[in-house]
Chains A and B, each alone.
Chain A
């Protein structure tokens, strides 16, 4: 480019700083090597996309499971108790009475609170109060501290559960020694005549 400005023309005439031959040759050799080297192609987008896709799928499944569990724990509508829908009553009821009976039935169904009273049965009570037919199983894991022993008892159902021992039921043998010493006959006194010292 030719410039008409004399100052720029003077700049154009400035001697150019020369790159020394060794540095120039070294730079050229390295640059040519880099020019001829095969370029590292980035991995195609499809190959790179599977990790985020897998993460997104896992996240979606996790969220779906969490929502389902929350819905199970906190249901949106409480379960309605069973109501006799077609509660007609006696056949000789007139229509008004029939209506009132249905209304009363529905109102009581909506407002009735069902309370289940369950007597407390701690494990110890269950284990001691049941008959000797109740198996008591202990399970100690190999890596568990012995003090953390888990005692698993079977759950009694209504048919097999009974308090106290039935007739003809004997107590289960326990590991503890009996509190009373076994009866042993007393040693007999010597029946012969005892010599006395003063007699000798």
Chain B
């Protein structure tokens, strides 16, 4: 995301242009939905996505001139997700994400490498998963991720390193299980 594009878009939003809001939605809607789907599961993510964009629409005309749009939108999405976890109905639905994330989250990919990576990502705790989603999947830099997570950049960098190590460990465990299962099939 270019900063100059952000500045122009923010200025148009502050003027209340509907076309600017359409551009904002076109640029960030899929990203915000993907982030929510990997955090909360696809079913819950659709409702959360709508709430997130309604909230963004209400406050878009009043954003500050130096707003980082990507960080702002992912912050709104993360806050909605955290609020939804306190609601009992959503918490029950999201509880199934960790156990059966492949069915509730993104659709299964044909590539086995991507499937393993999705499974390993789903097995991580939220604290590690969200920093990997922001930096690895959505392409934010560490400073933007720190802003979204409401932590210092140093802490975000440290959390990213730990999350990356946990993901690598989960991938190794998945490969070991896969080798074990293929070995059983070969012997049988």
Residues of chain A having any CB pair with chain B under 8 Å: 1, 3, 5, 7-8, 10-19, 23-24, 26-28, 30-36, 39
Q: Closest residue to A13 on the B side, CB-wise?
A: B114
When the two chains form the complex, which single residue of A1, A18, A31 contacts B53, counting CB atoms closer than 8 Å?
A31
Min CB–CB distance A139 → chain B (angstroms): 67
Given A3-B135, A8-B136, A35-B18, decide whether A16 and B50 contact each other with a Cβ distance below 8 A.
no
Chain B hits for A34, CB < 8 A = 54, 57-58
Given A11-B117, A16-B34, A17-B34, decide whether A35 and B61 contact each other with a Cβ distance below 8 A.
yes
Complex CA–CA separation, A12 to B135 (angstroms): 9
Q: Chain A at the B interface: mostly helix, strand, loop or mixed?
A: helix
Q: Closest residue to B31 on the A side, CB-wise?
A: A16
Complex CA–CA separation, A3 to B132 (angstroms): 12
Q: How many residues of B contact A (CB 8 A)?
A: 45
Given A31-B21, A32-B21, decide whether A39 and B117 contact each other with a Cβ distance below 8 A.
no
Chain B hits for A23, CB < 8 A = 46, 49-50
Given A17-B107, A28-B53, decide whether A8 and B29 contact each other with a Cβ distance below 8 A.
no
Chain B hits for A8, CB < 8 A = 132, 135-136, 164
Contact A19 B167 (CB under 8 A): no
Complex CA–CA separation, A8 to B18 (angstroms): 36
Contact B109 A19 (CB under 8 A): no
Chain A hits for B136, CB < 8 A = 3, 7-8, 11-12
Q: Closest residue to B141 on the A side, CB-wise?
A: A1
Contact A36 B18 (CB under 8 A): yes
Min CB–CB distance A146 → chain B (angstroms): 64
Contact B121 A11 (CB under 8 A): yes
Contact B106 A15 (CB under 8 A): yes
**Besides A17-B45, A30-B57, A36-B18, 15 new A-B residue pairs in contact (Cβ under 8 A), listed by A number:** A1-B140, A7-B164, A7-B167, A14-B137, A15-B106, A15-B109, A17-B34, A17-B106, A19-B30, A23-B46, A30-B53, A31-B25, A31-B57, A32-B57, A39-B61
